[in-house]
Structure 1
Amino acid sequence: MDREMEWNAEVTKIHHINYVRNSRAITVAWFVFSACYTILNIVAFIQPFWFGDTTQSPGVGYFGLIEWCERIQGSEYSCTGNFLDFNTLMNDYFRASSFLVGGAALLFIFSIICMLLFLFLKPALVLKICGWLQLIAAVFMAVACIIYPNGFDDDNVRRICGQDATAYNMDKCQIRWAYILGIVLIFDAFILAILAFVLAVRQAKMLPEFKKLKEEHLRYIHEWRDQ
């Protein structure tokens, strides 16, 4: 009986160690994916390839969140736009989208920095904080991608894409890879936020259950030895 109880306690200890190890591995993976997301978000933010000309468009150029470029002669392009000066951005919709995408990147940066709070706070609380930051970032990205096409109703866009360009209609231009990346990042942000909340719940509920089970086995061992 003594050996059986000790074996059960040892099995419980092994399960607990495996749980902690797996939980930490998933948390590390979540951290790595969050860092990768931040890099991709910044890439989408600074690249001027959200949409641009085609072979049928009257002009040659491409547009991003904060910068747009038009070919002036040969292979030379004239680019305009500086995030530090909102007046250089083409219209209000592009300004709003750039602000939201930049805000999403900052929120993810904050969520990564919050990992330092693991040294001072409970892991479940830290993961919840990060989850909320990433959820807000996902909403920012979604709103940015939704309102961005409103900016197609602009004279600069019509000069490159055609006179029929209006809100949500780029006439003879087409979507490019940076806009597609922005749409993908919406779903990535939601998935990472959900994963953070799931990890927080597991940290809050599962560890006490293992601890309780371990204490029960130890109590049984002590009671049996006292008999």
Structure 2
Amino acid sequence: MASSLTCAGLLWALLSLLCAAASCVGFFLPYWLLGAQLDKPVSFGPFRRCAYPVRDEGRQTTVMVEQCGRYASFAAIPSAEWRICTVVTGLGCGLLLLVALTALMGCCVTELVSRTVGRVAGGIQFLGGLLIGAGCALYPLGWDSEEVRQACGNLSDQFELGTCKIGWAYYCTGGGAATAMLICTWLACFSGKKQKQYPY
């Protein structure tokens, strides 16, 4: 099968796939914020968390359930900022994934990615990275929620971590988006071969 990509385009396709995978994995996993509650490690993502308190009626105490899961509903996400972050980051990850899959198809399909298509794809990647970056910037605004404060020693506030620390998934999501914006967008401009002109 012939490729519609140049050498720079092949690098773009590979890097686009890696960036999309890094951002999507980081977005899905609830390790954006790490803390502790009732001497158990707790972690949060925009729409998921690991370890949560449950009232044990038999003992009349609160115990920690050491499981990971998403919030029961969209409205149950602890803050409005995290709800916006979830939507914006999810949309950005979707755009990066769409471009990455198109770039991979360009490795196998002739004349799929022209110079114009490559530039448009680069613009979509830039927009996707921008959306994910906006989501990452919004995330610290939700650190003043009651759930986060319980895990951060009641010291957290907007842009104040308290006893918590930022987890690897936050860096993974943001790093994938930044690479997509800065490198993939540039490579996309040189990704497509010049289309052949056919005489009529």
TM-score scaled by structure 2?
A: 0.77
SS at structure 2 position matched to 1:53? strand
Amino acid across the alignment from 1:106: G
Q: 1:159 aligns with which of 145, 150, 154?
A: 150
User: Which one has a larger percent strand, Structure 1 or Structure 2?
Assistant: 2
Alignment-derived partner of residue 31 in structure 1: 13
2:6 alignment partner, SS class: helix
Structure 1 unaligned residues grouped into runs of 5+: 1-20, 212-227
Contact 1:59 1:160 in 2 (8 A): no
The normalised TM-score by structure 1 is: 0.68
RMSD: 3.1
Q: Check whether the contact 1:93–1:151 (CA below 8 A) recurs between aligned residues.
A: yes
State the SS of the aligned residue for 1:185. Answer: helix
Is 1:188 aligned to 2:179, yes or no?
Answer: yes
Shift of 1:178: 0.6
Map 1:198-209 → 2, pairs under 5 A: 198-199=190-191, 203=193
Structure 1 residue 148 displacement after superposition:
0.6
Aligned equivalents of 2:63, 2:154: Cα separation in 1: 23
Any gaps of 5 or more consecutive residues in structure 2? 54-61
Matches within 5 A, 1:169-188: 169-188=160-179
Q: Bigger relative contact order, structure 1 or 2, given CA contacts below 8 A and separation 6+?
A: 2
Distance in 1 separating the partners of 2:40 and 2:64: 13
Q: 91-100 vs 190-199, which deviates more?
A: 190-199
> Which of 62, 68, 73 is the equivalent residue of 2:43?
62
Q: Distance in 1 between matches of 2:154 and 2:137?
A: 22
Shift of 1:60: 3.6
- SS of aligned partner of 2:187: helix
Distance 2:40 2:159 in 1: 19
- Report the structure number with the largest CA radius of gyration: 1
Q: How many residues align?
A: 182
Q: Distance between the aligned counterparts of 2:33 and 2:85, measured in 1?
A: 14
Q: Provide the secondary structure at the position in 2 that maps to 1:168.
A: coil
Q: Could you tell me which amino acid in structure 2 is paired with residue 146 of structure 1?
A: A
Q: CA deviation at 1:25?
A: 2.3
Contact 2:20 2:176 in 1 (8 A): no
- Stretch moving more, 108-117 or 186-195: 108-117
Measure the CA separation in 1 of the matches of 2:112 and 2:135. 33
Select between 144-153 and 175-184 the one with higher mean Cα deviation.
175-184
After TM superposition, the structure 1 = structure 2 runs for residues 69-88 of structure 1, keeping only pairs within 5 Å, are 69-70=50-51, 72=53, 76-77=65-66, 79=68, 81-82=70-71, 85-88=73-76
| Cα distance per residue 1:94-146 (max 9 Å; x no partner) | 11111122111110222134445875666111101110110001111211111
More helix by share: 1
Cα 1:122/1:103, change in 2 over 3 Å: closer
Task: Pick the aligned partner of 1:127 from 118, 132, 143.
Answer: 118
Measured in 1, the distance between the counterparts of 2:17 and 2:190 equals 19
- Hey, what does 1:110 align to over in structure 2? 98
Moved more, 94-103 or 125-134: 94-103
- The answer to whether 1:145 aligns with 2:136 is yes
- Cα contact 1:44–1:178 (8 A) shared by 2: yes
> Which residue type is aligned with residue 33 of structure 1?
L
